[in-house]
Amino acid sequence: MRAACMPSMWVSMVKPERMRAVVRLLLMLLLSFPCIVAATPRIGVATMQPGGIFWERFGHDAIVVADDATGTATSYNFGFFDPAEPGFIGNFVRGHMRYRLVALPFEDDLVLYRDEGRGVRIQWLDLTDAQAGSLAASLAVNARPENAVYTYDYFRDNCATRVRDAIDRSLGGVLRSQLEGRSRGATYRSEAVRLASPAPWMWLGFDIGLGPRADVPLSLWEEAFVPMHLSAALDDIRIDGRPLVRATQEILPHRIAPEPAGSSRPVSPWLASGLALGLLLAFTARRAPRMVLAFALPFWLAGGFLGTLMLFIWLATVHVFGWENHNLLLLSPLSWLLVPGAFRGLRRRAPGRVFDWALALVALLAAVGMFVSWLPLPAQDNTRWIALLLPLHVGLWVGLRGISRPAAASIAR
């Protein structure tokens, strides 16, 4: 019985002021508990598989900040741009593209990928409370309108490199230190051509339009410009012997064509095609020059257009990976000089002396392109284009040279 009375006796002995202080302290602890939970969110990297539209070919990613206390997850997505922005087209052409970071509910971010059938998975990172809290806070600040916009670069500053850099900062540089000194030998060209391979016009554009800067072997750190490579790199990271990725969660299944696999591109089929076409053009031009001119005209138009475009990229844009393009020697803007003569030849008139000089000069430049590939200059992986186009230029020169001379009556055929 006494024991039952002891609590009431103890309470009666405590001063009211002290009781109020104890109650206030307990209330403060209870009220601060949700804040403590909110300060330690879970951090994940969501990787979206490639889609079918050309700007979706490289895949995508975002950082997910999950608050288990409220059951919410925020996607920090660096891939937004506004095509209605004043000057968007001109900025896009010149290489001054403005992208922005947007924070939105993760479920809302998934709608597009679910509708398109693109797979999504999250790698939950094993960060300390301090690292997770710091990363979440910095992303929230970065997503403010005054901080969200950045100048986009296809290879060096895109959605994946922004995710990579944010995680690396939270880890104190550990990610970069483990990836920078390793390489698989991939290049910006090899990755761009691989991922664009389902769309022929797209991979042709990359392969022709990229210059020697795109052929420098990449470290795994640089290779992480591709979201899928960043995802694979995160799986390999170890910090104090433990994996950085504590769990991987499949969010959406991938229901469309998978990411293209890498494949070798041997030169021999290109060379065989080039030699066969070059020989055919050289022999046919002696008997039916107008037939060869009918083939050559669209070839020269395409060459002139592509050469002019490559020259514009070099001289008038900040697309540095298209500068100093050796393919200018194979697809020269000088091809435009051949177009008027080709039209005259198709109308059974002599193409003219300018045509003869331009024909020889275009073939000579293509031969120079082959010799340049042997010099100790920054190497460009365009051997396949040399193998295909040089025989064509030489075949056209051999077959069509001299058709402007008065004695070359065969032009009337």
Predicted confidence (pLDDT) at residue 218 exceeds the cutoff of 50: yes
Predicted confidence (pLDDT) at residue 74 exceeds the cutoff of 70: yes
Predicted confidence (pLDDT) at residue 160 exceeds the cutoff of 50: yes
Structure tokens belonging to residue 203: 């991979």
Tens-digit pLDDT profile for residues 111-123:
999 999 999 999 9
Q: Estimate the crossing angle of helix 159-170 against helix 129-142, to 10 degrees.
A: 140
pLDDT, residue 21, reads 58
Tens-digit pLDDT profile for residues 227-265:
999 999 999 999 999 999 999 999 999 999 999 998 788
Predicted confidence (pLDDT) at residue 33 exceeds the cutoff of 80: no
Kindly state the average pLDDT of the residues 219-223.
Answer: 98
Q: Where in the chain are the domains?
A: 41-183+219-252, 268-412
Could you tell me the CA-to-CA distances from 158 to 81, 313, 370 in Å, in that order?
12, 20, 34
pLDDT, residue 405, reads 67
Is residue 137 very low, low, confident or very high in pLDDT (cuts 50, 70, 90)?
A: very high
Q: Compute the distance between CA of residue 273 and CA of residue 266 in angstroms, rounded to an integer.
A: 12
pLDDT, residue 402, reads 81
Amino acid at site 265? R
Predicted confidence (pLDDT) at residue 410 exceeds the cutoff of 90: no
Tens-digit pLDDT profile for residues 258-291:
999 987 889 999 999 999 999 999 999 989 999 9
- Per DSSP, the residues of 104-137 read EEHHHHHHHHHHHT--EEEEEE---HHHHHHHHH
Predicted confidence (pLDDT) at residue 62 exceeds the cutoff of 60: yes
Predicted confidence (pLDDT) at residue 31 exceeds the cutoff of 60: no
How confident is the prediction for the chain on average, in pLDDT? 90
Is residue 20 very low, low, confident or very high in pLDDT (cuts 50, 70, 90)?
A: low
Q: Compute the distance between CA of residue 100 and CA of residue 81 in angstroms, rounded to an integer.
A: 6
pLDDT, residue 92, reads 87
pLDDT, residue 45, reads 98
Tens-digit pLDDT profile for residues 289-343:
999 999 999 999 999 999 999 999 999 999 999 999 999 999 999 999 999 999 9
What kind of fold does domain 41-183+219-252 have according to CATH? endopeptidase fold (from Nostoc punctiforme) (3.90.1720)
pLDDT, residue 77, reads 98
Percentage of the chain modeled with pLDDT above 90: 80
What is the model's pTM?
A: 0.86
Kindly state the average pLDDT of the residues 21-49.
Answer: 67
Tens-digit pLDDT profile for residues 77-102:
999 988 888 888 898 889 999 999 99
Per-residue DSSP letter, 241: T
Q: Compute the distance between CA of residue 310 and CA of residue 239 in angstroms, rounded to an integer.
A: 45
Residue 46: name the closest of 22, 21, 79 by CA: 79
Q: Compute the distance between CA of residue 93 and CA of residue 390 in angstroms, rounded to an integer.
A: 30
Predicted confidence (pLDDT) at residue 35 exceeds the cutoff of 70: no
